Structure 1
Amino acid sequence: MKHTRERAVRKRSRGLVALVATTALIGSALAVGAATGPAFAVTTGNGALVYAPPNGSSFNDEGGDATGTAYAKIVALKYSGASNGTLISTFDDARLIKDVSPSTNPTTDTQACLANPALACHQEWPFFRSTDNGATWQKISSINPGLQFPGTPGQEDSTQLDRTAQPFLYELPQAVGTLAAGTLLFTGQVRPADRDNPASVTKLVVYKSTNQGTSWSYLSTVDTGGPAIYDPSPTSTTTTVWEPTLAVDANGGLVTYFSDERQKANGVLQAVSYRRSTDGGLTWGTLANVSAPTDSTHRPGMITVDKLPDGTYIATYEVVNATGYAFSNASPVFFKKSVDGLNWGTTSSLGTPVELADGRGIGSSPTVKWVPAGGPKGMVVVASKWGLDAAGNLDGGQNFFVNYNLGAGPWERLPFAVTFNGPSSITGFAQGIDYSPDGRTLYQATNVENYRPNPSNPSETYLYNDIRVGTVPLNATTYEAEKAALVNTTLVTHGDASNGSKVGNINFSNSTVTFTVKAPTAGSYTVNVRYANGTGATSSHAVSVNGGTATSLSYPPTADWGRYLWAQLTTTLNAGNNTIRFGYSGTYAELDQIQVYQSSTTPAPEFQIKNRNSGKLLEIASAAVTDGAPAGQWGPTANPTQIWQVLPAASGTHQLVNKNSLKLLEIPGAATADGIDAAQWGPTGNATQRWTLTPDSSGFWTIKNANSDKLLEIDSCLTTDGAVAQQWGPTGAACQQWQLVKEGIQ
């Protein structure tokens, strides 16, 4: 799906808004201010403001809403020496800039440029920098492609390629050709102002920066296509190239992936394709496809690719015209895997949809990123514009979808830092995500709706889109409100709530939600609180810790009761179990979850470990805390004895630490025979307390003892509560396969 900013596509965007409005999915706008407080706190306030379009800067000359921005991208530098940790952001800027004199003293004059095509006007890609973890931003540079493709001076015609679209930002993780590691690369689409002219063109161009985005130089043109006309119908004849992104393949080549409409003679309405460079992006090789269905219907597009820790690659993309979805333009997100970033299996295949275990999915303009935190193999994170229910209807969209098994098996939710009304026009389109060099923070860059009065007629409002960046603490331990101790409240099912539920009706003098939080050490902790407040005014709860004096926690209003924001408090916790109680204090808000963390520490990730054969959870029987207590399986009890900390250990192995007892899973006596029952014990340093976790292609793991080389299984593949866990040589049985589950475990 395309969201570009010229006349023809604006008309389509309004059509999408009208269609979604008929399904009652559009909520009211949310006005928020820039984040305040310490740099790590930009989860609150719906993130930090990077850029707000000036009034009139993205005027829509067809009477619809203005747009302002889209395609927010972000890079957290990791290969740039002393600059590591610096954040660089760019986006698609709808402003038209009139040159007072060529290339000097540009002024924003969008309305004048639209009214008079003969004016010398252009668009630019701006770049912003943050050196305080995203709290504040400064513009540092811009790219004006009209300087490389100038056409006829002073006249906008088909040879002047000075309209910009679909930016992508990438930091080279290694040297490629003459480009050093840490070089910033930028790619995007350029086209002329008269984009509807059949003789018009689109070009995919690449720029480089060797000074962390302070200045840019043109590198090359990857490919050229026909006019930038969006027509997804099976009878379309368009030949556009769209949406370039970058990655380095397993053989050290630079690859530009993009959407290609030039293969219609083969029944391919649109393909996601690539060209490869072996000389650092100076020249580009032959065209190849990732996915190119030959049914003249399915239309994959908006591809992004990232490398996984096992050396393989994952690509995500939307599929317009996907069959089997209740909403005709659901644009569900699919993915494919590759051994090297070049070979993607059968190219006519669409791949696999990104879905939760219950069939809920996401749609439109996805971005994929692997991050090293979250699990024994890190996690794959996908951001998209909207959510889809199991039938394929548009349904919210306020969560990343994450996978802890390199893309195999069911996905889970991870709440956005910054939320938006996804079905609204261009809002939330083609987000950017990256992680900090220390792996503790996930950054989300996106465009967020901002309704403002029309300066010429204050009774009218236009939809602009601000660029905002928020952070998700990847080192936090999450506790769900529905798992807390509840008094006089109501559970509310909601697809955008973490784990699918939240707690509402905290409306009475005795209404309380009490979380039991286990802290590894005593000290000061940050608590992020995900809430909904549709009252239209600020609400609050009384919050007490370990029975102490309650303090007030404020909740600024959310757009409606289906929209979430974050509040934050800092508190002192004891080592071990603590209680954090939220109580009614005269106003109304709903609670979804809390995240508890210390900014300078990274605790081991926590999971339930579910047996594939029985569907039951690995636990220490009777929640025992003594050495030698046996391990077995049981149905879910909500006891922390069914939660395991997966702690990295020597030689790529892990220790499995029971959250209730803080003792390690082991094979007693370092025995190597088949049939030895597993148990817990305090740390001994013996290899029998270490395990190798190996994912498979179906979303399950084998858990092999590092001492015996035998697999953890349930004795005799029993399915009953209380059946013991033991070790045995590999049999291929389902009782030797396990699933790691994080969402909603506590």
Structure 2
Amino acid sequence: MVLTAGAVVMLVATLLSAPAPERRVLYDGGSFYPRVIRLEHSGPANGTILAAITTNFGSQGAGVISASTDGGETFQQIAAIEDPAAANGAGICCSFLYELPSPIGAMPAGTVLWAVTVGYQAPEGQRQTRQRLWASSDVGRNWRHVSDIAVSPNQYNTWEPSLAVAADGTLVAFYSDETDKANHDQKLVQVRSADGITWTDYRHTVVNTDWYVRPGMINAIRLPDGSYFMTYEVCNNDLVHLCSAYFRRSADGWDFGDPYDLGTVIRTADGKYGRHTPTVAWSAGPGSAGTVLVITEMLVEDDGSISPGNGKTILANDHVGAGPWYEIPAPIPVEGVNNEGCRNFSPYLLPTPDGKAVLEVTTDYDGPVCKTYYATGPLTPARR
């Protein structure tokens, strides 16, 4: 059956307006930047889902770790990571949760890592923002500080760490770097470590000759074929599609190509763009050979206007990024999203192993409080 353009539009609208799964509170307090993983290298604990958020206990910044043993139906808090570098209102932000697929130094496969930005709210004369690495050897219940991935050399901030193990077995950390203010407002950079303690080989990942262009919010995953897929936003280069989501690929997880090439924008056949805070996941479906899923804070039309699917859409591609992307309704529709620090800010996806459904974690206001929610919904694409 061949659908007309009008029929496709109506079908997409129907799917996006279908009743969403009931969202549940993951953390009943002020929280943001949620992340979620399924353990795959932890022996008897395999299949356990871990979720992380950042919050504040008074003036103490902390990460809260929760676990689910029933496939994401329910979560229970199992740990709180109170980083001393985030005490006294110094600030905590932008954490990342990761399970080692292979040993790194003394850390065996199955070690759970938590990377986090701290110190960005310290007074300017005292500020040295840090990207901190923590590790758990008991599936998220107890944690120890391993190293500082990066320490700002001046008062300008670094942000948003993410982790991946490259093909050569080294642990790679990516982050946003504002410390080179003479040349760039912000750039994406990377370092690597053979043991999780010593970090070397600082290099640009995405950068632009225009000082105002700000790439940020970087995430990279390893695909089943061993290659790597990276997403990030690029701000201030397109004033119609502000902070659009881009991607690039790598064969080895370290070399992602010319850092001055901004990459490929993520766009649907009818011209929709994902904007702000992209994150990426690989799913066994709905594509017959697997599907790359990207979720962003916002969705806009080709002219930059707010799309009907804004705050409630996953963008999907069955060809490892080649060609146009298509829309899938997100499990948690968030209304009124418009580039702020809470509503649908940096949502995250965890597909089920069979690729038929996806767990989403994201944030939304409950009155004046920004809370983290979770829900699982089907990976049902709009027909194209």
Cα deviation code 1:317-364 (max 9, x no counterpart): 1112122416xxx21111111121211222111111110011111111
1:284 paired to 2:199: yes
The Cα shift of 1:285 comes to 0.8
Partner residue in 1 for 2:39: 77
Amino acid at match of 1:271: K
Judge conservation of contact 2:187–2:215 (CA < 8 Å) in 1: yes
Amino acid at match of 2:188: V
Judge conservation of contact 2:240–2:303 (CA < 8 Å) in 1: yes
1:341 paired to 2:260: no
Judge conservation of contact 1:361–1:388 (CA < 8 Å) in 2: yes
1:397 paired to 2:335: no
Compared CA separation, residues 440 and 177, structure 1 to 2 (3 A): farther
Within 2, Cα distance between the matches of 1:403 and 1:74? 21
Amino acid at match of 1:284: W
Partner residue in 1 for 2:284: 372
Compared CA separation, residues 272 and 192, structure 1 to 2 (3 A): closer
Aligned match for 2:164, one of 238, 243, 247: 247
1:50 paired to 2:26: yes
Cα deviation code 1:238-273 (max 9, x no counterpart): 7311000111111111111100112333x3221111
Amino acid at match of 2:42: S
The Cα shift of 1:394 comes to 3.6
Tell which deviates more after alignment, 429-438 or 197-206.
Answer: 429-438
TM-score, normalization by structure 2: 0.88
Judge conservation of contact 1:322–1:332 (CA < 8 Å) in 2: no
Aligned match for 2:118, one of 190, 197, 200: 190
Amino acid at match of 2:147: S
Partner residue in 2 for 1:472: 377
Partner residue in 1 for 2:298: 386
Within 1, Cα distance between the matches of 2:208 and 2:40? 37
Matches within 5 A, 1:303-702: 303-325=218-240, 330-395=242-307, 396-421=310-335, 422-423=337-338, 425=340, 426-451=342-367, 462=368, 464-474=369-379, 478=380
The Cα shift of 1:162 comes to 5.2
TM-score, normalization by structure 1: 0.47
Judge conservation of contact 1:258–1:272 (CA < 8 Å) in 2: yes
Partner residue in 1 for 2:11: none
Amino acid at match of 2:256: W
Compared CA separation, residues 221 and 439, structure 1 to 2 (3 A): same
Within 1, Cα distance between the matches of 2:237 and 2:311? 19
Aligned with 1:135: secondary structure?
Answer: coil
Within 2, Cα distance between the matches of 1:239 and 1:294? 19
Larger radius of gyration: 1
Partner residue in 1 for 2:178: 261
Partner residue in 1 for 2:14: none
CA RMSD of aligned residues (A): 2.2
Within 2, Cα distance between the matches of 1:416 and 1:445? 10
Compared CA separation, residues 69 and 322, structure 1 to 2 (3 A): farther
Within 2, Cα distance between the matches of 1:127 and 1:468? 14
The Cα shift of 1:313 comes to 1.2
Judge conservation of contact 1:225–1:262 (CA < 8 Å) in 2: yes
Compared CA separation, residues 336 and 239, structure 1 to 2 (3 A): same
The Cα shift of 1:439 comes to 4.3
Aligned with 1:44: secondary structure?
Answer: coil
Judge conservation of contact 1:43–1:471 (CA < 8 Å) in 2: no
Consecutive unaligned residues in structure 1, runs of 5 or more: 1-41, 54-67, 98-120, 228-237, 452-461, 479-741
Partner residue in 2 for 1:744: 383
Aligned match for 1:140, one of 75, 78, 82: 78
Amino acid at match of 2:117: Q
Partner residue in 2 for 1:538: none
Matches within 5 A, 1:58-77: 68-77=30-39
Amino acid at match of 2:174: Y
The Cα shift of 1:428 comes to 0.9
Consecutive unaligned residues in structure 2, runs of 5 or more: 1-18
Matches within 5 A, 1:78-93: 78-93=40-55
Cα deviation code 1:371-390 (max 9, x no counterpart): 22222431111111011110
The Cα shift of 1:432 comes to 1.9
Greater RCO between the two (CA within 8 Å, min separation 6)?
2
Partner residue in 1 for 2:149: 222
Amino acid at match of 1:44: P
Partner residue in 2 for 1:126: 64
Aligned with 1:124: secondary structure?
Answer: strand
Within 1, Cα distance between the matches of 2:166 and 2:129? 25
Within 1, Cα distance between the matches of 2:77 and 2:237? 40
Q: Give the share of equivalent positions with the same residue, in percent.
A: 30
